[in-house]
Amino acid sequence: MTMTTNTTTTNTATAKISVQGVRKTFQLKNEEFVALDHVDLDIADNEFVTVVGPSGCGKSTLMNILAGLEEPSSGHALVDGEEVSGPGPERGVIFQQYALFPWLTVRKNVEFGLKVGGVPKAARRERAEYFIRMVGLEQFADALPKMLSGGMKQRCAIARAYAVNPSILLMDEPFGALDALTRVKLQEQLLETWNREKRTVMFITHDVDEAVFLANRVIVMAARPGRIYETVEVDLPYPRTEDVRLSPEFGELRNRVWHAVYHQEPGTNAGTTSSSPTA
């Protein structure tokens, strides 16, 4: 098992997502709050990156910047080498609160992005059908969100994000509101889906186990100011089964990430070697 803290697997030229010197500040009364400071991060095509860190470390802000819902105060956020300006269908976003349209059925929710994109009805139907089946909701295609459990709602949101065929999925603590059992199920399904339909994924979580189980690479962030604290490569094989989850290698990685999250020294990074090469 290898475990490196110095990531040199990607570089700006080939990176799918490239965050360069991003700083984001908010004005609070008379005081400036630094949500993100000098964040540099490259994510390769079809890589699965998880971002974990204490609350206030700016992980959601980072995701919102990539989604185009917020703008950095300075620095650059690039997707496919182009500066992000506003949301775009090539970047699918999955929210913690599911954000399903409660007045639309599962099918209509999944079709939403296609409909506003002007896809003809028949094609829309077919595509929605495929992704509804992918997440196992075919029995509920005509049900309203209020009839679904939390896990089913999130699966519907995943189908909806996939339906517009994004090359990037940005997931903001998608399983955060679910119970532990449902969460483990959805993690396995998400990986299975990702194996079948490869996408570049940035997945935000506050759960260390989840971060290690899903990722090629775990980004640990720190707060005050929000910054990247450490990067942990996860060299565990896919498909990640229960055996992987219970393996000693997994345990070691988990301990390492755990330590980085819960025993951060204030105002420092865990050695300069841990941050990405552009730093």
Partner 1 sequence: MERVIEMTDESERDKSEQAAARAVAAGSTATTALAVAAPRSGGKPPRRSRVSKRTKLIVLNCISVVAGIAIWWILALNGFQFPTPPEVVEKAIQLWNAGILQQDILASLGRVLTGFLLGSAAAVPVGFLMGWYTVGRGLFEPWIQFFRTIPPLALLPLVLVLLGIGEVPKVFVIFLAAFLACVISTYQGVVNVDRTLINAARVLGAKDGAIFVRVVVPASTPFILVGMRVGLGSAWATLVAAELLAAPAGLGYRMQQAQLYYDLATIFVSIVVIGILGLVMDRLLLLAETKLTGWQERR
Where does this chain bind partner 1 (CB under 8 A)?
Answer: 67-69, 86-89, 91-93, 95, 97, 99-104, 112-113, 116-117, 133, 135-136, 139-140, 143-147, 149-152, 155, 160-161, 164, 182, 185-186, 188-189, 192
> CA distances (Å), 62 to each of 114, 130, 266, in order?
27, 31, 20
**Least gap, CB of 176 to partner 1 (angstroms):** 14
What is the C-alpha separation between 198 and 200, in angstroms, rounded?
Answer: 7
Which CB sits closer to partner 1, 1 or 116?
Answer: 116
As beta bridge partners, residue 218 has 50, 232
**Least gap, CB of 193 to partner 1 (angstroms):** 8
**Least gap, CB of 115 to partner 1 (angstroms):** 8
Which CB sits closer to partner 1, 79 or 260?
Answer: 79
**Least gap, CB of 194 to partner 1 (angstroms):** 12
What is the C-alpha separation between 238 and 218, in angstroms, rounded?
Answer: 15
What is the C-alpha separation between 121 and 110, in angstroms, rounded?
Answer: 13
**Least gap, CB of 8 to partner 1 (angstroms):** 32
**Least gap, CB of 238 to partner 1 (angstroms):** 14
Three-state secondary structure call for residue 244 = helix
Which CB sits closer to partner 1, 113 or 226?
Answer: 113
What is the C-alpha separation between 181 and 9, in angstroms, rounded?
Answer: 34
**Least gap, CB of 25 to partner 1 (angstroms):** 21
**Least gap, CB of 20 to partner 1 (angstroms):** 22
Q: Is the peptide bond before 174 cis (omega within 30 degrees of 0)?
A: no
Which CB sits closer to partner 1, 34 or 104?
Answer: 104
Which CB sits closer to partner 1, 171 or 261?
Answer: 171
Percentage helix, strand, coil for the chain under 3-state DSSP, each rounded to 5 = 35, 25, 40
β-pairing, 200-205 vs 48-52, is parallel
Which CB sits closer to partner 1, 116 or 123?
Answer: 116
Which CB sits closer to partner 1, 128 or 228?
Answer: 128
Which CB sits closer to partner 1, 151 or 225?
Answer: 151
What is the C-alpha separation between 166 and 188, in angstroms, rounded?
Answer: 21
C-alpha closest to that of 15 among 94, 77, 90, 86: 77
What is the C-alpha separation between 126 and 60, in angstroms, rounded?
Answer: 33
Q: Is the peptide bond before 239 cis (omega within 30 degrees of 0)?
A: yes
